Amino acid sequence: MSEASADEIMTVVAARELKDRVVCFVGIGLPSTAANLARRMHAPNAVLVYESGTIGAKPTRPPLSIGDGELADTADAVVSVPEIFSYWLQAGRVDVGFLGAAQVDRFGNINTTVVGDYRMPKVRLPGAGGAPEIAASAKETFIMLRQSSRAFVCELDFCTSVGNHEGGDSRDALGMTGGGPSVIITDIGVLRPEAVTREFVLTALHPGRTEAEAIAATGWPLRISEQLTATDPPTEAELSTLRALKAGVA
Amino acid sequence: MSEASADEIMTVVAARELKDRVVCFVGIGLPSTAANLARRMHAPNAVLVYESGTIGAKPTRPPLSIGDGELADTADAVVSVPEIFSYWLQAGRVDVGFLGAAQVDRFGNINTTVVGDYRMPKVRLPGAGGAPEIAASAKETFIMLRQSSRAFVCELDFCTSVGNHEGGDSRDALGMTGGGPSVIITDIGVLRPEAVTREFVLTALHPGRTEAEAIAATGWPLRISEQLTATDPPTEAELSTLRALKAGVA
Amino acid sequence: MAEVMSLTEAVSTFVSDGDIIALEGFTHLIPFAVGHEIIRQGRRDLTLVRMTPDVLYDQMIGAGCARKLIFSWGGNPGVGSLHRFRDAVEHGWPRPLEIEEHSHAGMAARYVAGASGLPFGVLRGYSGTSFADYTDTIAEIICPFTGERLTAVPALRPDVGVIHAQQADRHGNIGLWGIQGVQKEAVLSAARSIVTVEEIVDVLDSRVTVTLPSWVVSAIAVVPGGAHPSYAHDYSERDNGFYVAWEEIARDRETFTSWADEFIVRRQSAGVL
Amino acid sequence: MAEVMSLTEAVSTFVSDGDIIALEGFTHLIPFAVGHEIIRQGRRDLTLVRMTPDVLYDQMIGAGCARKLIFSWGGNPGVGSLHRFRDAVEHGWPRPLEIEEHSHAGMAARYVAGASGLPFGVLRGYSGTSFADYTDTIAEIICPFTGERLTAVPALRPDVGVIHAQQADRHGNIGLWGIQGVQKEAVLSAARSIVTVEEIVDVLDSRVTVTLPSWVVSAIAVVPGGAHPSYAHDYSERDNGFYVAWEEIARDRETFTSWADEFIVRRQSAGVL
């Protein structure tokens, strides 16, 4: 089998974070692939919830959109979009919200709205979708994106979804019912929040990656955990399942 | 065919009030019978809405409860109870709310809650059900009850459902979106609100009934319209259809 | 994840004295069997929540289970009064019954708020009525955009939500159809839930319109006919005769008590009256 | 009562310049045919409302129909950007586009409030985000019972709601199934509505999960494939290839314009791209 790509390692590591039986609200793209990989590996009873209103979807391949017909066909329940946000997400029934991001800051706050000034943007991004309330209401949030100094910024151009806000207990003061981001998984390593400051620090490096790379790919002065670990490389089983999944045959 | 009973005349007169294609939110009992009679006579396209969430129900006989299975089997749509009150009634989609009452006052306000003091009631009645919001939000309301001085009272023991409130434009000041009661149909005659005061006055007497009877059966000083009319007696067709309906064969 | 257990075990595990408990079902699918088991197990000081406390709550009130009733319409549909409810309110027998009274629209908004994780719901309701004179849980709220005055009601958050449904599948997912009532909201607003079903099937019927995934349900008990004298659409008919007969059974304290003793307390298994 | 008419007549009767119009469909059942007919009829100054203004609104914005967009996610799902939307926001081409931006949960609450006849909806949302700095339609609201701070958003009340569904029956009742999105709310919050359907049937399919009675719909047009490149569950598959291809078509103004001219404007009948 060929070497694992950086995206493949990121996806495998993200999948490992999901426990069995977890109820996971999945964004489209990499998070969806990771969640579906987890379901095929160690978490066969993970419940995937998509914002299209499909609860317990079991797609055979990563869907292109969150509204692909297969999600409805394989779901335990299909509810309306208003209901998925009110009765399911806002009510606190989601264990893990799995989000992507265009920009993230040291406290795990996310921008998916604009680069540059909101009214005269350099780049107009798609916007919020379900992310702000996933970030607010899920018991914890996993964030997944490729690490670069353009994405890991000192200050967001727009705060679309709140993570640990300004750090410390500032998130709690906003009255949010969900617990906030617990991990950021990148193509270089894994970041987790420090206990008191709630600032994300590097806690693991993927095979072949270096602290220097991680620091260079981060727009804020990235700190390294004293318990920095090395990521176990993807197993044959993980990699072959991921590839089969993406090919639509897993 | 035997003579029409007082209840039958009342039901026939109430049915005549319903126009074809009207969307009618129906309470159980006499209103439901009248609405179903109308549907079999001159209003075949009347849309019957029951608070159990059945929209466009076409029962073959008057249901005993608003949740009889036949209502769901014959409905165009079955929705949840929260939805029937929010998306359908409160949104202003109901033309006519058809209500019964234990007590009514001169402004068409209704009590179905208690007789006597609320905390030490002489008679504890069932309470509100859907009536308060039907009375608030339907474009107009029809009220149907047997006329007696115990029922047609000077002052309600409890205001369950607001009619023309304290008369004049006092209802409008409450910010209600529906138009309020337009007719009270009894076993003696028909009452309608005066233009300015919005007080209900006697506008029609059923066959064989007298003004004196109506006045005696009213707890407030009932006024008689200058345009008092005589109710056309039930036709053979009306009466036979009503009886067949109640026997479950219409 | 829903656990399949006996009715007896479900009630003894999940219902305690003093609980706030909502047994829902809007004429259709009323969970009588669970109510009877609660009577048999002698639960006390319950706060009973239900939009239409009909014959089932008349029985539970008459049996002395209830301290308080939160409701919007307490009658025997199409028949008349609930005599045990009236006796409790009018004469405090077998014990005084505190009441918290709303309209259907208000109760529905309260369940929706509870199921949605919101502290309150908003509706156009109660203006000009007497409710707020006697019910604390009604407040004015102003639209921040239009200045309109509306009504707020607090969320219902029962300790236990109880419903009857037609089916569960082998994974414990619940499916029901026909009149839906507030069954979904009764389960989703509650901390714990008990669902009785007509049967467990391999795959839920295609007629199912409301599905509750296994992981939002605490216990499933298979109780065919568990809604009687209410009904389960496509499984049974509403026993209108029983509702009519209830008028005479419930009118008198002693008649009621001996009926309850014979048909509830001394029945080992529920599901049949 | 819904009237069955041609797509052309439905749009010319019910859509006017300056209207607030919501074409809904959450990936599934997107009413592309109506959008294309609006482009053909040259409607201008529309306020376009949609949770996910994907390829359809990219086309309508690029064709110059829109003055304003009310939305919560503007991308090509699984593919990338909406280049016509970005060009309008970033460079004002073909005309400046005012935007009113929300989250999905906020938009859903706004539709629900509109469908419910309420002036506002309440949610736990937006706290700590930048939305309120740029969006007027977000306000704080305090729970009158607990003192909690929540967020209010005003009701959406479009002039026209547009959806695609699988079926209408002979009476004009609409039935759809599969992913439901906010189709029901788009129709029920709007003053008028247009529904395109795959076919008219004698009796709606038993798989129908959402029914809209005839009397809440203004016009029905039979347009098989009217959701393409979106899909109608059990009638067609999502044309993922088209969504991927759109990236290249939309990236360049001239490529887009000639595509739109060939595939929208010069098509006499819609329903096929």
- The string of pLDDT tens digits covering residues C208-251 is 999 999 999 999 999 999 999 999 999 999 999 999 999 999 99
DSSP string, D23-73: E--SSBS--HHHHHHHHHTT--SEEEEESS--HHHHHHHHTT-EEEEEES-
| pLDDT at residue number A157 | 97
SS3 content of chain C, % helix, strand, coil (to 5): 30, 25, 45
Q: Rounded to a whole number, what is the distance in Å from the CA of D215 to chain C's nearest CA? A: 21
In our burial notation (b when 16+ CB lie closer than 10 A, e otherwise), range A35-59 reads bbbbbbbebeebbbbbbbbbbbbbb
Cα dihedral sign for B104, B7, B12, B47? positive
- CA dist D12 and C74 (Å) reads 52
Could you say which residues from 128 to 167 on chain C have a Cβ atom under 8 Å away from some Cβ of chain B? 128-131, 133-134, 148-149
| pLDDT at residue number A249 | 59
- DSSP structural state of residue D80: B
Could you say which residues from 64 to 83 on chain C have a Cβ atom under 8 Å away from some Cβ of chain B? 71-75, 77-79, 81-82
In our burial notation (b when 16+ CB lie closer than 10 A, e otherwise), range C232-259 reads bbebbebbbeebeebeebbeeeeebeeb
Q: What are phi and psi of D18, to 5 degrees?
A: 85, -5
Taking alpha carbons only, the member of B167, D214, C23, D185 closest to residue A80 is D185
- CA dist A72 and A54 (Å) reads 6
| pLDDT at residue number B76 | 95
Question: How far apart, in Å, are the Cα atoms of D62 and each of A75, A129, C146, D243?
Answer: 36, 22, 34, 16
The domain segmentation of chain D, as residue ranges, is 3-102+157-265
Q: What would the mean pLDDT of C69-86 be, rounded to a whole number? A: 94
DSSP string, C157-172: --SEEEEEEEEEETT-
C269 pLDDT exceeds 60? no
- CA dist D65 and A87 (Å) reads 36
Q: What are phi and psi of C132, to 5 degrees?
A: -65, -15
Reported as type and span, the H/E element at residue C219 is strand C219-222
C20 has which bridge partners?
Answer: C47
Token output for D213 = 């009675």
Indicate which residue of B17, B51, B199, B238 is catalytic.
B51
β-strands B103-104, D46-50: how paired? unpaired
- Residue D211 near chain A (CB below 8 Å): no
C116 pLDDT exceeds 90? yes
- CA dist D167 and A214 (Å) reads 55
Q: What are phi and psi of B11, to 5 degrees?
A: -65, -40
Bigger pLDDT: B30 or D245? D245
* Residue C261, CA atoms < 13 Å, CB-side half-sphere: 6
Superfamily of domain covering D3-102+157-265: Glutaconate Coenzyme A-transferase (3.40.1080.10)
The 3-class secondary structure across B32-73, one letter per residue, is HHHHHHHHHCCCCCCEEECCCCEECCCCCCCCCCCCCHHHHH
> Which stretches in chain D have pLDDT values below 50?
270-273
Q: Cα C166 vs. chain centroid, distance in angstroms?
A: 16
β-strands C174-176, C210-212: how paired? antiparallel
Determine whether the interchain pair C116/A87 forms a contact, defined as Cβ–Cβ distance below 8 Å.
yes
Tell me the CATH number of domain A6-247, given options 2.40.50.140, 3.90.1150.10, 3.30.420.40, 3.40.1080.10. 3.40.1080.10
Q: Rounded to a whole number, what is the distance in Å from the CA of A86 to chain C's nearest CA? A: 5
- DSSP structural state of residue C29: S
**Tens digits of residue pLDDT in A190-214:** 999 999 999 999 999 999 999 999 9
pLDDT band at A250 (very low <50, low <70, confident <90, very high): low
- CA dist B245 and B167 (Å) reads 38
pTM of the predicted structure, to 2 decimals: 0.97
Token output for B111 = 């009590």
Reported as type and span, the H/E element at residue A183 is strand A181-185
Determine whether the interchain pair B137/D117 forms a contact, defined as Cβ–Cβ distance below 8 Å.
yes
Question: How far apart, in Å, are the Cα atoms of A129 and each of A136, B90, C6, D102, D270?
Answer: 13, 29, 44, 8, 29
| pLDDT at residue number C268 | 59
Amino acid at A101: A
Taking alpha carbons only, the member of B58, B84, B82, B85 closest to residue B72 is B58
Reported as type and span, the H/E element at residue A6 is helix A6-17
- CA dist D51 and D63 (Å) reads 20
DSSP string, A52-115: TSEES---SS--SSTT-HHHHHH-SEE--HHHIIIIIIITT--SEEEE--SEE-TT--EE-SEE
| pLDDT at residue number B250 | 52
Reported as type and span, the H/E element at residue C98 is strand C98-101
- Residue C24 near chain B (CB below 8 Å): no
Determine whether the interchain pair A165/D128 forms a contact, defined as Cβ–Cβ distance below 8 Å.
yes
Taking alpha carbons only, the member of B9, B25, B49, B240 closest to residue B142 is B25
For chain A, state the CA radius of gyration. 17
| pLDDT at residue number C240 | 92
Does A touch C (3+ CB pairs < 8 Å)?
yes
Q: How does the average pLDDT of chain B come out, rounded?
A: 95
C82 pLDDT exceeds 80? yes
β-strands B121-124, B114-116: how paired? antiparallel
Q: Which residue of B has its CA nearest to C210?
A: B80
Active site residue A236: no
| pLDDT at residue number D258 | 97
Within 8 A by CB and 6+ apart from A120, the residues are none
Where are the strands (E) in chain B, listed by range?
Answer: 23-26, 47-49, 54-55, 77-78, 96-99, 103-104, 110-111, 114-116, 121-124, 140-144, 181-185, 189-193, 200-205, 224-230
Min mean pLDDT across A24-33, B46-55, B181-190, C15-24 is at: A24-33
Q: Rounded to a whole number, what is the distance in Å from the CA of D136 to chain C's nearest CA? A: 10
Determine whether the interchain pair A66/D27 forms a contact, defined as Cβ–Cβ distance below 8 Å.
yes
Determine whether the interchain pair D150/C122 forms a contact, defined as Cβ–Cβ distance below 8 Å.
no
Taking alpha carbons only, the member of C126, C57, C132, C61 closest to residue C91 is C61
| pLDDT at residue number B249 | 59
Give D-chain residues touching A128 at CB under 8 angstroms. Answer: 72-73, 101-104, 131
DSSP string, C115-176: HTT-SEEEES--TTSSHHHH-SS-EEEE-TTT--EEEEEEPP--SEEEEEEEEEETT--EEE
Give B-chain residues touching D213 at CB under 8 angstroms. Answer: 47, 55-56, 76-77
Q: How does the average pLDDT of chain A come out, rounded?
A: 95
Using a CB–CB cut-off of 8 Å, the residues of C that contact D are 117-120, 122-124, 137, 139-141, 143-146, 148, 150, 152, 154, 206-207, 209
Q: For an interface test with B, which of C29, C50, C52, C184 has the most B Cβ atoms less than 10 Å from its Cβ?
A: C52
Q: For an interface test with D, which of A26, A65, A90 has the most D Cβ atoms less than 10 Å from its Cβ?
A: A65
| pLDDT at residue number B248 | 74
- CA dist A103 and D108 (Å) reads 25
Q: What would the mean pLDDT of C127-146 be, rounded to a whole number? A: 97
Facing residue for A52 by CB, picked from D27, D101, D109: D27
Q: What 3-state class would DSSP assign to D78?
A: coil
C272 pLDDT exceeds 60? no
Determine whether the interchain pair A76/C216 forms a contact, defined as Cβ–Cβ distance below 8 Å.
no
For chain D, state the CA radius of gyration. 18
Token output for D271 = 């329903």
Facing residue for C118 by CB, picked from D122, D206, D209: D122
Determine whether the interchain pair D118/B137 forms a contact, defined as Cβ–Cβ distance below 8 Å.
no
Polymer length of chain B: 250
Could you say which residues from 235 to 264 on chain D have a Cβ atom under 8 Å away from some Cβ of chain A? 237-238, 240, 243
Cβ-contact C78, B64 below 8 angstroms: yes
Bigger pLDDT: C34 or B249? C34
Determine whether the interchain pair B80/C181 forms a contact, defined as Cβ–Cβ distance below 8 Å.
yes
- CA dist A213 and A74 (Å) reads 41
| pLDDT at residue number B29 | 78
ipTM score assigned to the predicted complex: 0.97
Bigger pLDDT: C175 or B1? C175
Determine whether the interchain pair C144/D144 forms a contact, defined as Cβ–Cβ distance below 8 Å.
no
Polymer length of chain D: 273
**Tens digits of residue pLDDT in A92-116:** 999 999 999 999 999 999 999 999 9
**How buried is C268 (Cβ within 10 angstroms: 0-12 exposed, 13-18 middle, 19+ buried)?**
exposed
**Tens digits of residue pLDDT in A32-54:** 999 999 999 999 999 999 999 99
Q: What 3-state class would DSSP assign to A243?
A: helix
Q: What would the mean pLDDT of A122-128 be, rounded to a whole number? A: 95
**How buried is D256 (Cβ within 10 angstroms: 0-12 exposed, 13-18 middle, 19+ buried)?**
buried
- DSSP structural state of residue B4: P
- DSSP structural state of residue D94: S
Give B-chain residues touching C210 at CB under 8 angstroms. Answer: 80
Determine whether the interchain pair D119/C209 forms a contact, defined as Cβ–Cβ distance below 8 Å.
no
C200 has which bridge partners?
Answer: C168
- DSSP structural state of residue A235: P
- DSSP structural state of residue B197: T
Q: Rounded to a whole number, what is the distance in Å from the CA of A23 to chain C's nearest CA? A: 9
